[in-house]
Structure 1
Amino acid sequence: MSVVFEQELPNEEATLALAKRFAESIKEPVVVYLEGELGAGKTAFCRGVIQAMGHEGAVKSPTYTLVEPYQLSGWRIHHFDLYRLADPEELEYMGIRDYFAEDTLNFIEWPEKGAGWLPDADIEIALSYYEQGRKIIINALTNTGTTIVQSL
């Protein structure tokens, strides 16, 4: 069922434009895993989606807090950064199950650090350095993910 979208992103503006299109295609709860090296654009993509969905303030990286929540019209968005997670079991102590509900969008950077404790992804996004910019590969893993990726 895998549907894949690939695009070169020459600059941050291109990343934010794609993030806006991604946000516009979200109609139901989704779990998104983001993979890529430090600085590859994972947080920039999340910021673009969150702001496109109506958040007017800053969107900061949750590197030290593990999760940044955003309450928007009809949605609770959680942006996770598990880079500093020492043990996946720490997710249980922070009540990880409470973050995944029918009104939530969840963006998870470094999902491999939470293996065994996270729900399966609807979409995997891989960002990498490419020439002077970045390259993004968006892979749909469920029907929900397929609907989003096909709309891009």
Structure 2
Amino acid sequence: MTKTVTVSNQTGTEALAAQLAAIAKPGDVILMHGTLGMGKSAFCRAFIRAVADNPHEEVPSPTFTLVQIYELDRLPVWHFDLYRLSDPEEIDELDIEDAFADAVSLIEWPDRLEYLTPENRLDIHIEPGPTADGRVFVLEPSGEDWVKRIDQFAGDPV
């Protein structure tokens, strides 16, 4: 079961991220798929700002640090960017299993996880949209809990 949401611009991406942040809970793993420039980091920033309930929350890219940890009031969020990793064994040094247990894990370039990919997760595939700034988000839940939440998720396009 997948759900497709089309947005027309960056504001739509931010609205979708906020909608998903509202249903997030500790232990959630969200895998962000898409080519360079599709908006994976923009989506993650908007998601973190929504959880923080602060549109001005400082959200640096984890491209060079590989992970940014946000101990937010509602729930912790770990934002991973695995682009520079070449071996899943390097991921062990990031304490990713701690994040999987206690936080929301937002993971860019999840193909690098290989055998570490959890079964219970939400895969988000981002594709070009009908306009230059538009995007198509394909939400693909795995695991009973995600399937239920995405089945009930409105995901209204913006």
TM-score by length of 2: 0.85
Paired residue total: 149
Q: In 2, Cα distance between the equivalents of 1:61 and 1:107?
A: 12
Q: In 2, Cα distance between the equivalents of 1:109 and 1:142?
A: 20
* Equivalent residue, structure 2, for 1:37: 35
1:75-90 superposed matches below 5 A = 75-90=75-90
User: Structure 1 segments of 4 or more deviating over 3 A?
Assistant: none
* Equivalent residue, structure 1, for 2:143: 142
Asked if 2 retains the 8 angstrom alpha-carbon contact of 1:22 and 1:148, the reply is no
1:86-125 superposed matches below 5 A = 86-101=86-101, 103-125=102-124
- SS of the equivalent of 1:99 reads helix
Asked if 2 retains the 8 angstrom alpha-carbon contact of 1:83 and 1:109, the reply is yes
- SS of the equivalent of 2:52 reads coil
Asked if 1 retains the 8 angstrom alpha-carbon contact of 2:69 and 2:77, the reply is yes
Amino acid corresponding to residue 139 of structure 2 in structure 1: I
Q: Pick from 4, 20, 35: which aligns with 1:22? A: 20
Report deviation, 1:121. Answer: 4.5
Asked if 1 retains the 8 angstrom alpha-carbon contact of 2:77 and 2:104, the reply is yes
* Equivalent residue, structure 2, for 1:10: 8
Q: In 2, Cα distance between the equivalents of 1:109 and 1:36?
A: 9
Report deviation, 1:42. Answer: 0.9
- SS of the equivalent of 2:92 reads helix
Q: Give 5+ residue unaligned stretches, structure 1.
A: none
- SS of the equivalent of 2:12 reads helix
- Name the structure with the higher helix share: 2
Report deviation, 1:91. Answer: 1.1
- Name the structure with the higher strand share: 1
Q: Aligned pair 1:127/2:126, yes or no?
A: yes
- SS of the equivalent of 1:127 reads strand
Asked if 1 retains the 8 angstrom alpha-carbon contact of 2:26 and 2:76, the reply is no
Moved more, 10-19 or 92-101: 92-101
1:47–1:121: structure 2 CA closer, same or farther, 3 Å change rule? farther
TM-score by length of 1: 0.89
Q: Indicate the RMSD between aligned Cα atoms, in angstroms.
A: 1.7
Asked if 2 retains the 8 angstrom alpha-carbon contact of 1:34 and 1:111, the reply is yes
Asked if 1 retains the 8 angstrom alpha-carbon contact of 2:67 and 2:94, the reply is no
Cα displacement string for residues 17-68 of structure 1 (whole angstroms, at most 9, x for unaligned residues): 1111111122453111110011101111111111111153221221111111
Asked if 2 retains the 8 angstrom alpha-carbon contact of 1:89 and 1:117, the reply is no
Q: Give 5+ residue unaligned stretches, structure 2.
A: none
